[in-house]
Chain A
Amino acid sequence: MGLAKFIAKLPWLGAKKTTALLFDEAQVRSQLREATATLESVFGNLSENIIEIDSRTESLKNHCHTLLELAGGHNNGTTIILEAAQALEDPMQYIEESLDKRRDLKNLMSVCEKITNTLLHRQNEMIEKLKPLKFMLVFYKIEAANLTAEHQSTFITVSDEFLRLHTMVDKTFRENIEKLTDAKSRISRAVDNFVQEHNNHTRQVKRHRNIISDTISSLNRQLSENSLQNTDLHYATEHFQSALEKLVIALQTEDIFRQRCQHIEDSLDNKPNHLSNLAWALLNSRKIDAAAREMREASKQVDESLKAILTQANELNDISVSMKQFKHMTASADGMIQILLDSFDGMYGIFKHSEKLSSDAQEAVSPVKSLVSGLSVIVNRVSINIQFIALNAQVKSIQVGEGSGLEVLAARTAEISTELKELGDETEKDIEKMQLTVEKIAQLIDEDRKSSANLAGNLGEHDNSNTQNLHNLRNDTFNTLNHISETLNFVKNFLEKDRDKLDEFPLVASSLEGIAQSILEVSGISKLDATELALLEEEIVDELIEAEKTSHTSLNAHKETSLEVFDRNADDSEIVNTTGDVELF
């Protein structure tokens, strides 16, 4: 049955066909304009924010790239790390060489210790040799008692000299023995300390060498394995930008919606003649309903896009903080920079300790140096005195004449003198050797101390450009992380506010749906049964298809526009466009 015949059978419907339009056009226009204005206002704000966020996204991408470079030790980081490692090589080499020098020093100190021991032994020998003098003094006095007063006084003088010499030897040699024993003990301690510290420093240098070598290997491995393109952070940055671009596309529904509303408005003035008023009412109700659906869809798409951006922002934030793929991340507490800083610190500690060792060694050897020169004077004086006494005794005994016991005593004194001279000569040689050794030690210590102080100064944190560079590199990384964090917080704050604004959309859509429903009710269409409604729908099929075509023409035109925008962005970011299939309607 044709629609005209069907309508004719319905008296109330037929009657309405001849009446004026069955809905308030002015109200429809007003509601459509209100909906468009709301959409424009919300989308306008969003668009402004998007422009700001887009410019920040570009900077975010750069910061993420910089973070990858800094954390991975790429580019400038590689240079700084390698330079720092090289800067550590010289002091380590110096320490290894100076360990050899210290081996020499240790040997010299052992020689020094041995000579000290020999000198101690010789002092004791000299004391032993001089012991008979004590008895001979008594014999001299006994023998002198038998002489004339003149000769007696001469021999008393000799015995007095014996006494003086003996007192001197007794006192000074005892002191010497104490000093030599003390010196020997100091040198022995210094030698032990040297051996211990030598081993300790050797171990430390070896450890630092291994650590630095591992660090450089790690850096090279990291540089070869972690290409900047294959990192989580790189992908997260891409996903973030991709989410942002989807929002840009979603925002273009504003234009489409506006055109849809405009089309409805325009068509209100151009009712096709072949359509009944009732069909015209249904057609407009359907169009307004479609616009309301589009608005809800647009709101949903924008909301989903905003959610996606927030999710991506959080993911990007988490990934930038964790940097899981970088096992040897430069900025970590056990990363390459920290390892190198620790090595600088370790080397500095070794040099400072070496300075202390040198100073201790110098302190241990210093008393030996003054002691041996004093010893030399004493031994000389004793030797000369005893020779003088022996000679004097021999001369006096000749003057007194043969037969006196003095002759024998003088001969024995001469023998002791000779023995002491021999011992003195040996001691002189030892002392000379000791002096040379001590001087060599002093020279080595002085050289070592100067070099250690010099290198320690170079390695000190304030004067060391390498450690400064390492700190700067790490500070750059921290600053970049901070920039990323601030940008993401900015984006999140903006978008969270924008999401609140989307709450207005369902209200506008509901209002449109209300108009559509009101048209149906006012016109009486809502009272039609299913068959009647189907017939009426049939009448407007062609108009609805035409309306959809018009919308799709607009949509396709807009899709093209959004793709152009997207292509432009994709060119910048090298992202493959996957959003061309997004169904906006």
Chain B
Amino acid sequence: MTQKIHTYTASGDILSTTAGTFWDEVSKIIDTLSSSEVLRLDLRASTMVDSVGLNAVVKIIRAVSDLGSKVQILIASDYLKKLCAFTRLDEKAEIIGP
């Protein structure tokens, strides 16, 4: 059975200046998520994620995991790919790309 995927598309980098809005907007999607569904964070427009941004992503993954759901993260930047491996975010969510 195909899992229903809810997608949030970030318009740019996830930094301390944007992480609050990012969390607020994704939280609204999480509120509608059920356990068999997937949250997809499309970060292909992002080239940078700073510590506050990472904190927001970790909070999102935790909130989604608490619901029994899963998170996919789409990325296009090599740096983000490295960052996901370095921070071991790739052990907590499915990283797709680049």
Contact = CB atoms under 8 A, between A and B. Distances in A.
A331 interface: yes
22 contacts: A321-B82, A321-B85, A322-B85, A322-B86, A323-B86, A332-B86, A332-B87, A333-B54, A333-B92, A334-B92, A335-B88, A337-B51, A338-B58, A461-B52, A470-B51, A471-B50, A471-B52, A475-B51, A481-B83, A481-B86, A485-B79, A485-B82
Contacts of B46: none
Contact of A471 (B51, B57, B61, B79): B51
Contacts of B51: 337, 470-475, 478
Interface residues of A, number: 25
Nearest to A476: B51
A233 to B, nearest CB: 12
Nearest to B79: A482
B18 interface: no
Contacts of A485: 79, 82
Interface string B76-97: 0001001101111101100000
B86 A331 contact: yes
Contacts of A302: none
Contacts of A329: 88
B55 interface: yes
Interface in A463-512: 470-475, 478, 481-482, 485
A80 to B, nearest CB: 12
Interface of B: 16, 50-52, 54-55, 57-59, 61, 79, 82-83, 85-89, 91-92
A482 B54 CA distance: 16
Given A478-B83, A482-B79, A485-B82, A334 B52 contact: no
A450 B89 CA distance: 38
Interface in A413-468: 461
A382 interface: no
A341 interface: yes
- Interface pairs A-B: 9 shortest CB-CB: A474-B51, A471-B51, A332-B88, A333-B89, A475-B51, A333-B87, A321-B85, A321-B86, A333-B58
A335 B88 CA distance: 9
Contacts of B58: 333, 338
B50 A475 contact: yes
Interface string A9-26: 000000000000000000
